[in-house]
C-alpha cells in the first residue's frame, strides 16, 4: 500500500479507495431482487415482505455495512444481519459473537444473495419477522402484492429471465 514518508497511508489513497468501494456496491432493483428470491425458493406471496425489509434495511444494497450499534456490533448486507448474533465478524470484537448462521459476515456482502437469504431464513425461523426493526413500522400488513406480479409479467425485462430461470432446473446454474 502507498504510504507517506511517516508510514501512514496517504489520505488521498484512502479517499480513492472509499469511492471505489461505494462504486462497487450493488443496489438491486426491486424486480431483480424479487427474481433472485423466487429462484431461491421464496414463495411469491412472501416476496413483498422480503423486498420491504431489504428496502428499509439496506436500500437494496448488497454491500451495506451499518454503523456501529450501541454494543459495538454491526449489521451486514442486504438484510442488515447482526454480527452480534447471526454471523462471525471479520475482526476481533469486544463482545461474544454467537454466529447462529455459521457464516462469516463478509459472505453476506456478496452480489450472490444466497448466504444472506439462508441466514435471514434462520433468523426468521428463530425470531420471526420482528427480528428486523423495520418490520413493525414499514413492513407489517401494508404491502402491495400486485406490484410483485408486475415483475413476473411477460414484457418486463426482468420477468423474462425470472420465468426462464424458474421454469427449468437445468438452467438454474446459468441464472442468478
Kindly state the cell numbers that stand for 173. 446454474
Q: Among all chains, which residue has been given the C-alpha cell 451486514?
A: 76
Q: What is the Cα 109 distance to its own chain's centre?
A: 7
CA distance 141 to 2: 52
41 is catalytic: no
Assess whether 57 carries a catalytic annotation: yes
The dihedral formed by the CA atoms of 116, 118, 120 and 121, expressed in degrees to the nearest 10: 170
> Which helix or strand (DSSP H or E) is residue 75 part of?
strand 75-76
Catalytic residue among 41, 75, 144, 157, which?
75
* Residues 67, 89: Cα–Cα separation, whole Å: 14
Which of the following is catalytic: 41, 57, 111, 169? 57
3-class DSSP state of 79: coil
Annotated catalytic sites, by residue?
57, 75
Amino acid at each position: 500500500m502507498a504510504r507517506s514518508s511517516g508510514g501512514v497511508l496517504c489520505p488521498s489513497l484512502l479517499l480513492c479507495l472509499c469511492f471505489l468501494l461505494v462504486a462497487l456496491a450493488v443496489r438491486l432493483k426491486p424486480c431483480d431482487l424479487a427474481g433472485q428470491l423466487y429462484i431461491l425458493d421464496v414463495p411469491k406471496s412472501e416476496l413483498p415482505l422480503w423486498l420491504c425489509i431489504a428496502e428499509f434495511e439496506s436500500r437494496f444494497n448488497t454491500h451495506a455495512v451499518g454503523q456501529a450499534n450501541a454494543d459495538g456490533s454491526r449489521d451486514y448486507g442486504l438484510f442488515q444481519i447482526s454480527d452480534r448474533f447471526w454471523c462471525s465478524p471479520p475482526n476481533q470484537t469486544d463482545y461474544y459473537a454467537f454466529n447462529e448462521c455459521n457464516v462469516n459476515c463478509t459472505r453476506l456482502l456478496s452480489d450472490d444473495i444466497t448466504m444472506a437469504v439462508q441466514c435471514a431464513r434462520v433468523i426468521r425461523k428463530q425470531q420471526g419477522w420482528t427480528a428486523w426493526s423495520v418490520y413493525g413500522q414499514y413492513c407489517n400488513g401494508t404491502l402491495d402484492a400486485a406490484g410483485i406480479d408486475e415483475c413476473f409479467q411477460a414484457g418486463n425485462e426482468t420477468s423474462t429471465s425470472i420465468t426462464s430461470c424458474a421454469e427449468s432446473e437445468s438452467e438454474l446454474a446459468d441464472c442468478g
